[in-house]
């Protein structure tokens, strides 16, 4: 058992079973043993690889996107560019390079929201000299119109889960089995006030933290202007099913097997995020498939441009990255990942999204 597993076992022994949200929050964010507090999980040697780590083109296209949005506004205001959960800082580095070309002379102020001290140190090295500022949460971000980026961020925010029975929706919990091991169970009493429809046995995920965050950000967009770009794997239609998953060494793992040692994520419910933003009075763009978004932003043209100055090996790597980022087959990144933007009323249609 991992040290965090022992701590969670003691917690349950004293206080009873805990919700999936608390379990996720402990596994990922525990101050000492949390997954994101203790390691750099990205890349070939880590547990998963993200789009910015696959190719520089991903961040560059997003930088150009941000430049276009800034161009719709008064050129004199500073360009506050925020990233939530910036990983190794790769997306920000690539975006800034493209942004300096797309928005020449702009007063760019990068802000990074990160809970991991390990990743923050990696980001500080990558972004040295850019004037970037770090934050532990969105509360300390500067006011005013901002362009906010979030790639693979909403998927690691805690969710609650409920299972439908004749008596109502019962919260899914982590408790102790007969051997004292961690097991999934259900709260004996139904949760009052949850009136969603669903067949017997259906599993409902409620992304409370993510929805709360989206409401705050959408409110900010409506009041101060700006745009938020959220990219994640997830579904466009609400649905039932367990999408909580653990990844370790690029393979799926049992979410209860090694608390704090494996990444724990869930498929993002884009319908719920879009609805939360709309309710706050912001304008919602998409969601669209990552494949369509990147192709609309000119991924192929960018790839061709890179290839004009590339060796044969580099050119093959560019082609392979384009295929990976746009792979529309079942489970491929191009279709599994969705892109959602939320903007204030001062913006028209945004690049990469079909006009509503
Ligand atoms: N966006 C990066 C990394 C994705 S991994 C990329 O695409 O490569 C998730 C990132 O979110 C990590 O940097 C992790 O440390 C950070 N993170 C996780 N939970 C967070 C939270 N509650 N607040 C801020 N950052 C968080």
For 175-228, what is each residue's pLDDT tens digit?
999 999 999 999 999 999 888 888 999 999 999 999 999 999 999 999 999 999
In a domain? residue 62: yes
Mean pLDDT over the full length of the chain: 94
Number of domains within the chain: 1
| Eight-state DSSP code of residue 312 | H
In a domain? residue 13: no
User: CB under 6 Å to ligand 1: residues?
Assistant: 28, 36, 42, 50, 52-53, 85-87, 91, 113-116, 119, 151-153, 156
Strand partners, 234: 268
For 31-74, what is each residue's pLDDT tens digit?
999 999 888 888 777 788 999 999 999 999 999 999 999 988 87
**For a pocket test of ligand 1, which of 115, 118, 122, 260 has the largest count of ligand atoms closer than 8 A to its C-beta?**
115
Name the residue range of residue 255's domain. Answer: 32-158+205-343
Residue (of 65, 99, 80, 56) closest to 144 by Cα position: 80
For 75-124, what is each residue's pLDDT tens digit?
778 999 999 999 999 999 999 999 999 999 899 999 999 999 999 999 99
Task: Tell me how far apart the terminal alpha carbons of the chain are, to the nearest angstrom.
Answer: 51
**For a pocket test of ligand 1, which of 85, 137, 268 has the largest count of ligand atoms closer than 8 A to its C-beta?**
85
pTM: 0.95
In a domain? residue 143: yes
Which CATH number is 230's domain given?
3.40.50.12710
- CB-count burial class (<10 Å; 0-12, 13-18, 19+) for 177: exposed
The alpha-carbon radius of gyration of the chain (Å, integer) is: 21
In a domain? residue 17: no
In a domain? residue 238: yes
Close Cβ partners of 157 (under 8 Å, ≥ 6 residues apart): 207, 209, 210, 213
In a domain? residue 145: yes
Q: Are 132 and 112 in contact (CB under 8 A)?
A: yes
CA 157 to centroid of ligand 1, rounded, Å: 9
Report percent pLDDT > 70 for the chain.
Answer: 100
**Would you report the helix, strand and coil content of the chain in percent, each value rounded to 5?**
40, 25, 35
Q: Are 222 and 347 in contact (CB under 8 A)?
A: no
What pLDDT does 60 receive?
98
In a domain? residue 190: no
For 16-29, what is each residue's pLDDT tens digit?
999 999 999 999 99
In a domain? residue 174: no
Which ligand 1 atom minimizes the distance to the CA of 83? 1
């Amino acid at each position: 058992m991992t040290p965090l597993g022992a701590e969670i076992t003691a917690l349950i022994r004293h206080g009873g079973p805990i919700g999936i949200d608390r379990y996720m929050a402990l596994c990922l964010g525990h101050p000492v043993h949390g997954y994101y507090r203790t390691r750099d999980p990205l890349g070939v040697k880590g547990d998963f690889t993200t789009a910015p780590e696959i190719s520089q083109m991903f961040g560059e296209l997003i930088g150009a996107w941000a430049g276009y949005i800034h161009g719709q506004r008064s050129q004199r205001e500073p360009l506050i560019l925020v990233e939530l959960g910036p990983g190794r800082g790769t997306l920000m580095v690539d975006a800034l390079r493209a942004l300096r070309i797309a928005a020449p002379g702009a007063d760019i102020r990068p802000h990074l929201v990160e809970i991991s001290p390990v990743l923050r140190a990696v980001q500080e090295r990558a972004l040295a000299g850019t004037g970037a500022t770090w934050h532990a949460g969105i509360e300390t971000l500067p006011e005013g119109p901002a362009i906010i980026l979030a790639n693979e961020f909403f998927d690691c925010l805690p969710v609650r889960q409920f299972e439908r029975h004749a008596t109502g929706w019962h919260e899914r919990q982590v408790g102790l089995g007969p051997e004292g091991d961690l097991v999934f169970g259900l709260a004996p009493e139904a949760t009052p006030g949850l009136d969603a429809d669903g067949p017997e046995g259906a599993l409902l995920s409620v992304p409370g933290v993510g929805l709360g965050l989206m409401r705050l950000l959408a409110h900010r967009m409506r009041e101060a202007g700006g745009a938020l770009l959220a990219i994640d794997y997830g579904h466009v239609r609400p649905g039932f099913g367990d999408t909580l998953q653990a990844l370790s060494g690029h393979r799926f793992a049992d979410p209860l097997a090694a608390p704090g040692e494996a990444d724990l994520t869930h498929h993002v419910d884009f319908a719920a995020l879009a609805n939360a933003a709309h309710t706050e009075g912001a304008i919602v763009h998409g969601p669209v498939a990552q494949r369509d978004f990147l192709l609309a932003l000119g991924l192929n043209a960018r790839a061709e441009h890179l290839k004009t100055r590339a060796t044969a090996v580099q050119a093959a790597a560019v082609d392979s990255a384009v295929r990976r980022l746009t792979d529309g087959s079942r489970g491929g990144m191009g279709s599994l990942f969705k892109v959602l933007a939320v903007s204030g009323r001062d913006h028209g249609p945004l690049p990469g999204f079909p006009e509503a």
